[in-house]
């Protein structure tokens, strides 16, 4: 009943196999959107693309959806929206789970979905958030991933900085939005359903990330990254100033 749409580029290759392995446990199909360019115009790494395709081909539920690079766009969210819209249009199921490739779903998701699959709602999940290494988990939770009915995510504004959140207002007005930042959306066991490894990266991987993501104009990210890697991890981050605790490397990233 779920079509999972995974937005991917090779800067996330370290997360790809474990992410697909987890999604394979509950998805009827997994659509991986891939562009032959990074969104700043830089050409993708062909060797890493070949390696990525080899990983994807291990899972028979996976489909690769190539996203056409159309040149520079003023909105940094344009290609994020385009990949998700094209994935949504291809999806065959009523439920669509939008994930980024550094957002990994936990094993408690299947049980949670069985309990909630007949509800006419949209869910944005409470997640654990990690920085620098997969053993540094924020003491503050965030939200990640969107599970939405296909009929509720039509008519995309490709330039919207809200990305999938552009559909939230209507759902909120209809009392059909369950949002992890406002009210925890947790597993039946009371634990998070998603782990977001957004900043679990080397210095070079972080710099590539901030050149290509939808928030690239929010801060002087490259200077912050340079400062971060001029020293050892000091127990906080430059994104939200969260505090951290040391945990096991749950997915062996």
Environment class of residue 116 by beta-carbon count within 10 Å: exposed (0-12), middle (13-18) or buried (19+)?
A: middle
Look at residue 65 in the predicted model and tell me its pLDDT. 98
Question: Can you tell me the mean pLDDT for 53-65?
Answer: 97
90 near 65, Cβ under 8 Å? Answer: yes
Q: What percent of the chain has pLDDT over 70?
A: 100
Question: Can you tell me the mean pLDDT for 104-125?
Answer: 97
For residue 185, is pLDDT > 80? yes
For residue 214, is pLDDT > 80? no
Look at residue 247 in the predicted model and tell me its pLDDT. 98
Residue 20: closest CA among 114, 103, 144, 77: 103
Stretch among 8-22, 132-146, 201-215, 238-252 having the lowest mean pLDDT: 201-215
The 10s digit of each residue's pLDDT in 79-102 is 999 999 999 999 999 999 999 999
Environment class of residue 157 by beta-carbon count within 10 Å: exposed (0-12), middle (13-18) or buried (19+)?
A: middle
114 Cβ partners below 8 Å, 6+ apart? Answer: none
pTM as predicted = 0.95
Q: What percent of the chain has pLDDT over 90?
A: 91
The whole-angstrom separation of Cα 90 and Cα 103 is: 21
Question: Can you tell me the mean pLDDT for 123-139?
Answer: 97
């Amino acid at each position: 009943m779920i079509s999972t749409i995974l937005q991917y580029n090779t800067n996330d290759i370290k997360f790809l196999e474990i992410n697909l392995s987890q999604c394979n446990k509950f998805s009827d199909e997994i659509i991986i959107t891939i562009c032959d360019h990074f969104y700043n115009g830089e050409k993708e790494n062909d060797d890493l693309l070949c390696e990525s395709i080899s990983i994807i081909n291990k899972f028979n539920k996976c489909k690769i959806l190539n996203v056409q690079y159309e040149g520079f766009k003023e909105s940094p969210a344009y290609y994020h929206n385009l990949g998700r819209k094209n994935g949504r249009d291809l999806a065959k199921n009523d439920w669509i789970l939008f994930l980024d490739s550094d957002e990994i779903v936990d094993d408690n998701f299947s049980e949670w979905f069985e309990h909630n699959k007949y509800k006419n709602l949209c869910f944005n999940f409470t997640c654990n958030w990690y920085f620098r290494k997969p053993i540094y988990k924020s003491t503050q939770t965030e939200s990640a991933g969107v599970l939405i009915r296909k009929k509720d995510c039509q008519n995309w504004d490709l330039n919207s900085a809200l990305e999938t959140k552009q559909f939230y207002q209507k759902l909120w007005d209809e009392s059909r939005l369950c949002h992890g930042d406002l009210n925890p959306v947790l597993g039946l066991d009371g634990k998070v359903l998603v782990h977001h490894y957004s900043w679990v990266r080397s210095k070079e991987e972080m710099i590539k990330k901030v050149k290509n993501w939808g928030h690239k104009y929010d801060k002087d990210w490259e200077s912050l990254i340079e400062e971060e890697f001029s020293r050892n991890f000091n127990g906080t981050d430059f994104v939200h100033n969260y505090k951290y605790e040391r945990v096991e490397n749950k997915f062996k990233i």
